[in-house]
Amino acid sequence: SSVSVENGSNGNHQPEPIINLDHGDPTMYESYWKKLGEKCRLTIPVSQSLSYFANAKNLCWFLEPKLEQEIKILHNVVGNAIVEDHHVVVGTGSSQLIQAALYALSDSLNQPNPISVVSAAPYYSSYREIADFLRSGLFKWGGDAYKFDEDEPYIEMVTSPNNPNGVMREAVVNRAGGMVVHDLAYYWPQYTAITSPADHDIMLFTVSKCTGHAGSRIGWALVRDKDVAKKMVKFIEINTIGVSKEAQLRAASILEIVSASCQIGVEPYDLENFFEYSKNFMAERWKKLRDAVKKNELLSVTKFPRQYCNFTAGFTEAHPAFVWMKCKEGMDCEKVLREHKILTRGGKRFGSDQEHVRISMLSRDEEFDLFLQRLPNIIADEEV
Amino acid sequence: SSVSVENGSNGNHQPEPIINLDHGDPTMYESYWKKLGEKCRLTIPVSQSLSYFANAKNLCWFLEPKLEQEIKILHNVVGNAIVEDHHVVVGTGSSQLIQAALYALSDSLNQPNPISVVSAAPYYSSYREIADFLRSGLFKWGGDAYKFDEDEPYIEMVTSPNNPNGVMREAVVNRAGGMVVHDLAYYWPQYTAITSPADHDIMLFTVSKCTGHAGSRIGWALVRDKDVAKKMVKFIEINTIGVSKEAQLRAASILEIVSASCQIGVEPYDLENFFEYSKNFMAERWKKLRDAVKKNELLSVTKFPRQYCNFTAGFTEAHPAFVWMKCKEGMDCEKVLREHKILTRGGKRFGSDQEHVRISMLSRDEEFDLFLQRLPNIIADEEV
């Protein structure tokens, strides 16, 4: 039932291109941004931003004031997070902010042994790598939060909507000594209903998944406690002495456009509401995917409940950035897809099983269409 | 002999501003870059660089090809490093590359205990912090390289010219199992004579100290061994999933201008040779400083030998980015300067003594001039 990688599964001798849907590389909004074209370019004079400092008087001394302002405006426009009583800490993507949060929460405890970092399975595969790669004495990967039962301090990563499976999440351990980091990278209207503004101690966001500008490496944290925010800033100071000013300035101007696009009558570039556009875009992809696997006994895809979204003022189901696909029992799903030259991330990396894979829904149209075209072949091959 | 911080030492009641010469914030070339003005601005369309990838086929998959090209051109123009047989790895400043190198060299050894990171005193104060802040099980700070005598693998950081004292350096331990990282952030013609192209296994550079664009957070490593380069890339992938594309593109265009400014007849912006300008600039500051402390029995400043510089084709002495100042025996030099509202970094942070301080020579003119004005008062106060 396996296929020849050299010739592909469609029987002709033209080699099929490999489709990489392993990473969540968010190139899908490119056509939206291309419409802006020449009208919207960021220009930076060569004499600007020489200094390490953006605002020496701010707790986060390397944060560009304009970016801080646009982050706050966007959260208020979308209604997905409370910015009042929170400090904004900018990071080189949210990966750096996860590490900054682990450092800030663990270093101040002064424990003799590393504290456990847990997350409910299936969990974002990078948490384990991030927690363990330097064999830190401050923190270590503790695995599936559902299985954690130690009487000691711990950090729980709560990803909501969850990566890989798109469901809304809350903390599951809820023991004494617990500290929680909310990774809200996907809590934007194109992926899920905005049911209420999040208001947690540490909330992480990233431009990558909000607007699709992953190349900029800009993320931000909203942090309630001043000392925790200071420690996170300290981490970023030691790790990279701040965050690129060019990337911050560009992110600020992109967030400004997104906020403006959401407000009727103030669309400077005559653009469609960004979140309506991207939500419709994701909904269409999900519809196509569901159609492609509908009559399929090998592959199945989660259903999501309809919920009221305050932002769009209507009911919607979720359209996550990834498909968390389940294959027939006993099947090694990643391997089968790889034989069809579709690269995905196997379930074991997420603390789950080999019958699951995570597939990016954020690729360019050409790759997504090829992926849909190949799905029937997989079914045919496997059913022989 | 101490002075009132409230009123300052000049006897009037106008509060004196604090001068921060603790960091080496390289704002001193601002006037050079301002001359370029409107003629030289980087423009990035809003639809550009959405992807995490810059060149998926490159070992360093997040490195912009144009930046790689301009790095190689500049090293060939200046003659300060051999780029042939080296891989280019870009980092979020050279701080991230130091950590990437420590990770790459230590992780592959698979040692049960963290390996020592050493550097000859006085050493760059951040090495200790970088090596220790996460209490890594892979590496730990091992202190002054002159005192290291263990029979086990180690990593020696060789900073040349050295931060804080500006002298040229070579490895000092030279034992079996030793790995060396050359931090060449200051090996540019404005700071020291370029006596030969460096050709080491791992060489680190940064835009911050070369052109003064510290806000961009762009550094690069030239790495001979392919597996070490790959591991460094892996570190940056886990730590920040690559490096800001905006910052890389701007750095590329800045390095292009610098290279062009060095070549007679190809100056597109009618600009003075950047390194001649900056060398003359640093030489003038050093002359003023030496004049200010000449008749001073409390403070003294190192003399540097004259050496032949291949780049300028002439003899020159060094004009380091920092003064490593020695005070009279028994004096707490950082404290005395702080009383005069001059913030510097005390010698103990560099593995030296309190009679030394590091003072940045890279500030803006106003701050440097204020610093020179205050020096005679210090002398007068302390000599009472």
Higher pLDDT, A158 or B5: A158
CATH code given to domain A19-32+274-383: 3.90.1150.10
Candidates B39, B244, B362, partner chain A, best to mutate (most A CBs within 10 A) = B244
Cβ contact A93–B138 (<8 Å): no
How far is the C-alpha of B114 from the C-alpha of A359, rounded, in Å? 38
Q: Quick one: how far is CA B300 from the chain centroid?
A: 23
Structure confidence at residue B8 (pLDDT): 40
Structure confidence at residue A381 (pLDDT): 64
Given A44, A135, A235, which is nearest B137 (Cβ)?
A135
> Would you tell me which CATH number, out of the four given (3.40.50.720, 3.90.1150.10, 3.20.10.10, 3.40.50.410), belongs to the domain B19-32+273-383?
3.90.1150.10
Which of B29, B3, B5, B339 lies closest to B191, judged by CA?
B29
Residues of chain A below pLDDT 50: 1-11, 384
Partners of residue B363 on adjacent β-strands: none
Given A134, A215, A218, which is nearest B134 (Cβ)?
A134
**CA-based nearest residue in chain B for residue A49:** B215
DSSP letter, residue A198: B
The 10 Å CB-count burial string (b at 16+, else e) for B240-250 is: bbbbbbbbbbb
ipTM: 0.94
Per DSSP, the three-state class of A179 is: strand
Contacts of A218 in chain B (CB under 8 A): 244
Structure confidence at residue B362 (pLDDT): 95
Cβ contact B135–A138 (<8 Å): yes
At which residue do the structure tokens 């706050």 appear? A72
Contacts of A253 in chain B (CB under 8 A): 46
Given A50, A103, A243, which is nearest B134 (Cβ)?
A103
Which of A152, A90, A86, A88 lies closest to A118, judged by CA?
A152
User: Which helix (H) or strand (E) element contains residue B181?
Assistant: strand B178-183
How far is the C-alpha of A65 from the C-alpha of A122, rounded, in Å? 37
Given A53, A212, A244, which is nearest B217 (Cβ)?
A244
Q: Please, are residues B92 and A240 in contact by the beta-carbon 8 Å criterion?
A: yes
Candidates B46, B95, B248, partner chain A, best to mutate (most A CBs within 10 A) = B46
Non-local (6+) Cβ contacts of B153 within 8 A are B109, B111, B115, B177, B178, B179
Candidates B217, B236, B274, B277, partner chain A, best to mutate (most A CBs within 10 A) = B217
- CB atoms under 10 Å from CB of A249, counted, come to 23
In degrees to the nearest 10, what's the CA dihedral of A253, A256, A258, A264? -140
Structure confidence at residue B377 (pLDDT): 82
How far is the C-alpha of A377 from the C-alpha of A80, rounded, in Å? 41
How far is the C-alpha of B162 from the C-alpha of B169, rounded, in Å? 7
Torsional sign, CA B140, B146, B151, B157: positive
Non-local (6+) Cβ contacts of A123 within 8 A are A144, A145, A157, A159, A162, A350, A351
Shortest CA gap A362–chain B (Å): 11
Shortest CA gap B83–chain A (Å): 24
Cβ contact A93–B240 (<8 Å): yes
Q: Quick one: how far is CA A355 from the chain centroid?
A: 23
Cβ contact A46–B33 (<8 Å): yes
Shortest CA gap A316–chain B (Å): 27
Distance linking the first and last C-alpha atoms of chain A:
6
Structure confidence at residue B299 (pLDDT): 84
CA geometry: angle at B57 spanning B53 and B59, to 5°?
90
Per DSSP, the three-state class of A300 is: strand
Given B50, B93, B212, which is nearest A215 (Cβ)?
B50
B277-294 residue pLDDT tens: 999 999 999 999 999 988
Q: In chain A, helix, strand, coil percent, each to 5? A: 35, 20, 45
Average pLDDT over residues B5-22: 66
Cβ contact A217–B96 (<8 Å): no
How far is the C-alpha of B248 from the C-alpha of B69, rounded, in Å? 12
Beta strands A115-119 and A154-159, pairing class: parallel
CB pairs A-B closer than 8 Å: 202
How far is the C-alpha of B169 from the C-alpha of B149, rounded, in Å? 19
The CA R_g of chain B, rounded to the nearest whole Å, is 22
**CA-based nearest residue in chain B for residue A208:** B50
How far is the C-alpha of B68 from the C-alpha of B54, rounded, in Å? 11
Contacts of B46 in chain A (CB under 8 A): 33, 36, 40-42, 253-254, 257
Shortest CA gap B50–chain A (Å): 4
Average pLDDT, chain B: 92
Shortest CA gap A133–chain B (Å): 8
Cβ contact A95–B40 (<8 Å): no
Partners of residue A91 on adjacent β-strands: A219
Beta strands B345-346 and B342-343, pairing class: unpaired
Q: Read off φ and ψ for residue B321, nearest 5 degrees.
A: -70, -20
How far is the C-alpha of A259 from the C-alpha of B175, rounded, in Å? 60
Q: Read off φ and ψ for residue A100, nearest 5 degrees.
A: -60, -40
Torsional sign, CA B308, B310, B314, B320: negative
pLDDT band, very low/low/confident/very high, at B41 (cuts 50, 70, 90): confident
- Secondary structure of B106-133 as H, E, C letters: HHCCCCCCCEEEEECCCCCHHHHHHHHC
Burial class (CB in 10 A: 0-12, 13-18, 19+), A228: buried
Given A33, A40, A136, which is nearest B136 (Cβ)?
A136
Cβ contact B45–A41 (<8 Å): yes
pLDDT band, very low/low/confident/very high, at B5 (cuts 50, 70, 90): very low
**CA-based nearest residue in chain A for residue B251:** A46
pLDDT at B344 over 50: yes
A145-173 residue pLDDT tens: 999 999 999 999 999 999 999 999 999 99
Shortest CA gap B338–chain A (Å): 18
For residue A334, CA distances in Å to A2, B301, B346 come to 13, 65, 56
- CB atoms under 10 Å from CB of B311, counted, come to 20
Shortest CA gap B108–chain A (Å): 12
Cβ contact B246–A250 (<8 Å): yes
Partners of residue A316 on adjacent β-strands: A307
Cβ contact A215–B93 (<8 Å): no
For residue A304, CA distances in Å to A167, A291, B332 come to 8, 15, 67
The single-letter code of the amino acid at B279 is K
**CA-based nearest residue in chain A for residue B244:** A216
Structure confidence at residue A7 (pLDDT): 37
Cβ contact B134–A136 (<8 Å): yes
Torsional sign, CA A256, A261, A263, A269: positive
DSSP letter, residue A349: G
Output the six-digit token pair for A358. Answer: 């995570």
Contacts of B25 in chain A (CB under 8 A): 51-53
- Secondary structure of B39-88 as H, E, C letters: HCEEEEECCCCCCCCCCCCCCCCCCCHHHHHHHHHHHHHHCCECCCCCEE
pLDDT band, very low/low/confident/very high, at B6 (cuts 50, 70, 90): very low
Q: Between B274-293 and B365-383, two packed helices, what is the crossing angle to 10 degrees? A: 20
In degrees to the nearest 10, what's the CA dihedral of B59, B236, B123, B311? 40
Torsional sign, CA A232, A238, A241, A244: negative
Output the six-digit token pair for A167. Answer: 């469901």
| DSSP code string of B240-304 | HSS--HHHHHHHHHHHHHHHHHTSTT--TT----HHHHHHHHHHHHHHHHHHHHTT-SSEEE---
Q: Please, are residues B215 and B191 in contact by the beta-carbon 8 Å criterion?
A: no
Structure confidence at residue A74 (pLDDT): 98
The 10 Å CB-count burial string (b at 16+, else e) for B150-182 is: eeebbbbbbbbbbbbbbbbbebebeeeebbbbb
User: Which helix (H) or strand (E) element contains residue A67?
Assistant: helix A65-78
CATH 3.40.50.1100 matches A65-261: no
Contacts of B33 in chain A (CB under 8 A): 46-47, 50
Cβ contact B47–A41 (<8 Å): no
Per DSSP, the three-state class of A93 is: helix
pLDDT at B270 over 80: no
Q: Domain segments of chain B: what residues?
A: 19-32+273-383, 65-261
Per DSSP, the three-state class of B190 is: coil
Output the six-digit token pair for B76. Answer: 């060939």
Cβ contact A214–B52 (<8 Å): yes
Output the six-digit token pair for B217. Answer: 């957070």
Which of B258, B212, B244 lies closest to A47, judged by CA?
B212
User: Which helix (H) or strand (E) element contains residue A115?
Assistant: strand A115-119
Structure confidence at residue A39 (pLDDT): 75
Structure confidence at residue A193 (pLDDT): 98
